[in-house]
A and B are shown apart, each in its own frame.
Chain A
Amino acid sequence: MAEDLANTEPQQDAADIPLLRIDAVVKKFGTFRAVDRLSLDIRAGEFFALLGPSGCGKTTLLRMLAGFETPDQGRILLGGEDIAQMLPHQRPVNMMFQNYALFPHLSVRDNIAFGLKRAGMPSPQIDTRVAEMVALVKLEGLEKRRPDQLSGGQKQRVALARSLARRPRVLLLDEPLAALDKKLRESTQFELMELQRRLGMTFVIVTHDQEEAMTVADRIGVMDSGRLEQVATPRELYEAPVSRWVAEFVGDVNIIEGQLETREAGRLTVSTRDAGTIAVAEPRHAVTKATLCVAIRPEKVKLSRRGPVSDPPHSHAINRLEGVVTDVSYLGGVTSYKVKLDSGAVLRSSMANTARIDIDAYSAGQRVVAWFTPDDCVVLEQ
């Protein structure tokens, strides 16, 4: 399954030059390398997310795209032109700031018109464009208000309209929804996606919220310590992480360490201390090390009283682990279980609550079989 995912990634035309090419960029603060020889291509019309823990360098990278920081080495090519040393006010990109940075002394209208006036646009055209932007973000009737008379959600819209008004070639969004409450954040995520598709613009968003990144982005670049760990579609990132770090950073995961034992017909067997011998699907990349990690997402671990009810044809390959349920967390859509295996290791499982009546629920202390197929496993070399 993991191997097939490569085909679902949008295909890149050979002739298609990326709109934005970040080429071996280095940014140091003192001796600290905030961004460390990072290269990345972003295509025109793409919604790209930079995801990572705080301090991973994602904001520094975004600020270099905006021009607030200058790379120490490397190039930033926008449509083939190196903009790395260009001043912010000369760049055809705009940024939506984390706390919006609306001008408190200007009305909504004047905030949106600010960039247009600097561009020397004649005032009748400014009026048209501002009206267009106000309609786009649904702020009609609030044009004369000042930022301190707006709600958080309204401020966010003004900031978005202001950064879109100049029709930038790339729109940079720095944690644009961090200040909103959960419900509003979710609805705004869909509005952002809809807006990006409708305008056909290139968006680069920085976020530490993986759900947000997975919701809005076509592709996600996961960053750690100034480097890109993986650049992939949300699905590939989740189902086929390239490293243990990515697997653990994106979503929940069970990691079982072990030694490679045999390899035959697209199957590897891994002997582990925690879960005995596990059969796993052979990964796309060649396995070179003897010590491996097997990563299994909790929702891939099924629980049953006696193991799979009707065994599929290759049932011999299904991994069955016996243990006792120690923890049950009912979360609404899913129920999350912790199963203490007979080896002492703890395996997490989450099962969708597809029926209202809890015939499938397990309770703490109950003895169960936790099972998963070889295709459910991802093999990682640390």
Chain B
Amino acid sequence: MKTFFLIASLALGQGLDPASFSLFKLPPAVWPTYNGDYSGRRFSDLEQINQSNVGLLKIEWMYRIQGVGPQRGVGNPTIKSTPLLANGILYFTIPDHVFAIDAHTGDRLWQYDSEDHGGHLVGQRGVGMYGNWLYFMSPDGWFISLDAKDGKERWKKKIADEKLQYFTTIAPMVVKNHILIGVGGDAMDVRGYLESRDPETGELQWRWWSTPEKIGDQAADTWPNKSAMDHGGGMTWLPGTYDPELNLLYWGTGNANPVFAGQSRKGANLWTASIVALNPDTGKLVWWFQASPHDTHDWDNVETPVLFDAVIAGQPRKLLAQGARCGWFFVLDRTNGKNLVSAPFSGTGNWAKGVDQKGQPIPDPAKEPKENGSMIDMPAMGATNWPPPSYDPQTELFYLNGTEGYGIAYLYDTSDNPEGYGGGGGGNFDTKSALFAIDIHTGSVKWKHEHSGSAGVSGGILTTAGKLLFTGDSGNLVAFDPSSGKILWHQRLTSSVSNGPSTWTLDGRQYIIVGAGDTLYAFTLAGKNQ
């Protein structure tokens, strides 16, 4: 802790004051981590832009990525990162590239480029910041520290082996003097882990594995043998959340491997497809909740575990909620993981036979992938995904962009020792995408905005004290009334919203920042020029 405060005071000149990291409060002129504050609520206290004046929103500037060209296997650059804001400068990323932009003007200050040497370029969620230092992951497993002033590389450390099909897209998360980084990769049956590294040296502080190490260890009885655990998956590819008072880190873990073929890994397969609570100083597991036990549908459970406080049945509670890719909404007591709500939001949850004593869905073996196909009443590839959800304490509603419909999953590799995916999911029968507003007390859907026609990608969600909800819809950035779902304002963009919108105040003006394809947009109120 001593070193931590020393660095903090040194960093105050130009860097990011670590005091701006907190559970629920954000200083107005900063967006210091991927989710803004530590809670993952993506709710802002700012209200200069509000229901009475949202019609005056205008584009203040645009920054379009140029000179990068199509990226290997994924096409044109797409901004999935949430830009950090510190000292009037925005830092955002796409795979292999970091950009520093003047937040007042959209002028580029510097750009850092990493050469493509493998890994998946499926996304890049952004940088982490500590004092004057930025932290970035290249897709091929390099953990890179940059000087925020000029983008010069300080050092880099190899933290994952892309030849084994690990890849790295995460925005590093800063908690005290720990830089937390997770990994992706489910093509070759590797084992998931989360690392904590030193902000100054990049050296490993601890590594938590998502599956048990050996027979006899905690939860090893949820696997048939050591080989299954060694190849069991459970990736950690999205930033988690943190409660400083409880000193608990909350992280979602990915699906088990082999992905669709579960016959060689009978059992619940802990701690894949789970929410885990870890001690950030030691990496020790404190509690867990498994959203998709023995997952056989590629249902990564990495969706943000959102932290909030609310009064439940007359009692003030410290809570955690997640809208999970498996189509269920969960509310837990974040002090101990005890379940309060488990309810499907997409379909009837017919892949499960109900919930167990912990509130975890009980997978129905009849609904696992089959050679002839097995149909479920939600999209086979999941009901939601990584785009950030939001919790608004003013409405006590949890918002997510999700899909409904029917899907079918097939088992291809019927051998005793399947490897890789071993099957596949698809179908997309009668698929509809929608913005869901879910009641945290009951898990019921209070309102839902179904997109007309085929709307497609709609990005993440931001709610504000101005009684506004920002998200993408039909190629537009849209402001909804968070209590009713009514559309209040929209602006057509050159591509669909592709990241989570964010907001902050600079020189007295509130900005809304959103990425759409290769372009970052900044919005302000007309007539608010200083």
Do A and B interact with each other, yes or no? no
